[in-house]
Amino acid sequence: MPSTIPSTTKSNIVLLAKRLIKTRSYLGFSFQDIANEIGLKKASLHHHFPSKEMLGVEIIQEMRSSFDDWSESISIVPEKKLDAYFKKFRDAVKVGEEMCPAGGLASAWSCVGEEMRFAARDLRSAHIMFLTNAIAGINRQRTKKATNELASYVFSACQGGLISSRMTGRAEEFDLVIKHLRSTIYA
């Protein structure tokens, strides 16, 4: 029998799951939680997503696509790119209250399949490539290897800043990380 679930249900499932990952982590919610909040039977969720893993992959791939669209739309000036990146990172989650959905996978890494790991690594790679290009434009004296390592460090520090601010409930924790990242990048 064909599903009578409106087509917007799939996008509502994704939005709710993304919010749950940001606030509870990937392991902190189930299909039943989503079904209860949306008002569906758990089996109806499987019409849209055969598994929680496929839902997670969809979320991470959507984040990658969104990041690509965003990165193509911003200034070509390296300093402005970096400023925009920090602002996007800070504004994309409620700093002090949420985690990055991809960062929220870290605690579940050994529990997720290879497709989800690949999607998360792909998203991380997009961030590293963006940061490498911005940092290279700011300080041309660094070697390519040093620039790439610094980009990886910046990404990791931003993720850590989100986690720390989540633990304390203080957005200033994230802002402090950004302050020190700026001084390192511009050194």
30-45 mean pLDDT: 92
Distance CA(110)–CA(136), nearest Å, equals 34
Rounded Cα gap, residues 83 and 53, in angstroms: 33
Flag whether 143 is in a domain.
Answer: yes
Residue 113 inside a domain? The answer is yes
Q: Let me know: does 14 contact 55? Beta carbons within 8 Å.
A: yes
Say if pTM beats, i.e. exceeds, 0.85: yes
Mean pLDDT lowest among 41-55, 61-75, 94-108, 127-141: 94-108
Q: How far apart are the C-alpha atoms of 46 and 48, rounded to whole Å?
A: 5
Among the listed residues 11, 8, 55, 7, the one whose alpha carbon sits nearest the alpha carbon of residue 30: 55
Rounded Cα–Cα distance for residues 131 and 67 (Å): 12
In a domain, 77, yes or no: yes
**pLDDT single digits (tens) 122-132:** 999 999 999 99
Res. 2: pLDDT tops 70: no
Instruction: Tell me, yes or no, whether 21 lies in a domain.
Output: no
Residue 73's pLDDT is 92
Share of the chain above pLDDT 70, in %: 96
The rounded distance, in Å, linking the Cα atoms of 22 and 93 is 8
Residue 37 inside a domain? The answer is no
User: In this structure, is residue 42 part of a structural domain?
Assistant: no
pLDDT at 142 over 60: yes
Name the residue with higher pLDDT: 100 or 154.
154
DSSP 137: H
Give the structural domain span for 154. 59-185
Residue 28 belongs to a domain: no
Whether residue 41 lies inside any domain: the answer is no
Taking each helix axis as running N to C, give the angle between helix 144-168 and helix 78-92, from 0 to 180 degrees, rounded to the nearest 10: 30
Cβ atoms within 10 Å, residue 103? 23
Give the residue among 20, 96, 24, 32 at the shortest CA–CA distance from 59: 20
What are 43's two structure tokens?
């089996």
Q: What is the mean pLDDT of the chain?
A: 89
144-168 vs 114-138: helix crossing angle, rounded to 10: 110
pLDDT band at residue 7 under the 50/70/90 scheme: low
Count of domains in the chain? 1
